[in-house]
């Protein structure tokens, strides 16, 4: 867990911006993310369009595609949050998978091969994939076997974003010399989004929306839709002064003088989230220095801004 390095003192003006949990309901929705429990059958894009229709919003977008038959955690960004949801694409994932072996094999051999298929592995994306088919390295953090029943193996796997579990099962089968395939798959985690109390079904979302519209009770829709800031919870943070916010919103890179505090574990080239003192997401960028170097710097550009999420004018212009 990163600690916070306090670089300067600073206060935030209550007349500008809003604490994420205190946004008016319409704004909460437009800057929100649904931690959706995807059912088996529809594509991720179909789920997007259904959420868009349920809420009557302009845009929706998901963070990490799931195949039609795969279920589980599918974060959906709404309107302004559709760009923020892209920050989840490289985030760590967790799945529960049912793998079917094509021939009988001992439990010992299964357990041994799954131990070997941890750490860094090589994968070539499958034919039906949205990325270029070239060999790449992916990290497998853990594989916990939950149950072995004959030729069926149920396991939980934690992995780097961009790992193909269908290909993982195929490669395990090839290594054993008997063949194997992914029979069922459920995603249980995508970055900070998990199968906790915030997981929402399409029916939950529909009901919550109608209760708000028809009865004026917004508590349920607030439970179903989370602030977009959660999409960068897994990233190191830099907190900036109110006076620096609008310049960053206009695309300026972040200088050392605009920083109030920062996580102490930032490395050079890390992707970092730029936040206001109220906890609002302003932008994301690439760190040009380490935490220690940023902390000591009095001037100069320290973050190369790559994506801006806050609209210019949210905070007053204090730059020339």
Contact 57, 79 (CB under 8 A): yes
> What ranges make up the beta strands (E) of 39-150?
60-62, 71-78, 93-101, 119-123, 136-149
| 264 is annotated as an active-site residue | no
Q: Is residue 123 within 8 Å of 136, Cβ to Cβ? A: yes
Cα dist from 36 to 189, 200, 230, 284, whole Å: 11, 5, 14, 24
Judged by DSSP in three states, 95 sits in: strand
Tokens of 154: 């149920």
What residues contact 133, with CB distance under 8 A and at least 6 apart? 124, 125, 127
Question: For residue 243, what are its two tokens?
Answer: 């006076």
**Phi and psi torsions of 40, nearest 5°:** -75, 135
In degrees rounded to 5, what are phi and psi of residue 204? -55, -45
Closest CA to 95 of 184, 174, 199: 184
Does residue 77 sit in helix, strand or coil?
Answer: strand
d(CA 173, CA 181) in angstroms, rounded, equals 7
**Under DSSP, is residue 75 helix (H, G, I), strand (E, B) or coil?**
strand
Q: Which residues of 274-292 are buried (b: 16+ CB within 10 A; e: fewer)?
A: bbbbbbbbbbbbebbbbbe
Biggest CA-to-CA distance, the chain: 72
Catalytic residue among 13, 37, 48, 67: 67
Angle between helices 44-55 and 202-215 in degrees, nearest 10: 10
Known catalytic residues are 67
């Amino acid at each position: 867990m990163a600690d916070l390095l306090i670089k300067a003192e600073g206060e935030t003006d209550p007349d500008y911006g809003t604490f994420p949990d205190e946004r008016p309901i319409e704004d909460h929705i437009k800057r929100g993310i649904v931690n959706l429990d995807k059912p088996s059958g529809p594509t991720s894009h179909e789920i997007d369009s259904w959420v868009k229709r349920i809420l009557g919003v302009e845009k929706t977008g998901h963070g990490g595609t799931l195949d039609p038959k795969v279920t589980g955690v599918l974060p959906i960004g709404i309107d302004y949050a559709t760009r923020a949801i892209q920050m989840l694409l490289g985030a760590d994932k967790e799945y529960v998978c049912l793998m079917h072996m094509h021939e009988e094999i001992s439990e010992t051999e299964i357990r041994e091969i799954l131990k070997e298929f941890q750490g860094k592995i090589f994968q070539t994306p499958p034919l039906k994939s949205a990325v270029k088919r070239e060999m790449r390295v992916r990290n497998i953090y853990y594989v916990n076997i939950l149950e072995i029943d004959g030729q069926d193996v149920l396991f939980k796997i934690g992995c780097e974003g961009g790992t193909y579990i269908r290909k993982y099962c195929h490669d395990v089968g090839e290594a054993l010399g008997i063949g194997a395939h992914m029979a069922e798959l459920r995603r249980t985690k995508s970055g900070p989004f998990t199968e906790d109390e915030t997981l929402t079904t399409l029916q939950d979302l529909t009901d919550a929306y109608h209760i708000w519209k028809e009865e004026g009770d917004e508590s349920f829709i607030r439970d179903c839709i989370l602030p977009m800031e959660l999409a960068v919870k897994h990233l190191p943070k830099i907190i900036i002064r109110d006076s620096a916010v609008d310049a960053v919103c206009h695309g300026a890179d972040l200088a050392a003088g605009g920083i109030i505090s920062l996580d102490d574990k930032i490395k050079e080239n890390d992707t970092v989230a730029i936040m206001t003192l109220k906890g609002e997401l302003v932008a994301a960028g690439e760190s040009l220095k380490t935490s220690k170097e940023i902390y000591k710097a009095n001037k100069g550009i320290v973050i190369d801004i790559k994506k801006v999420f806050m609209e210019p004018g949210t905070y007053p212009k204090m730059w020339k």
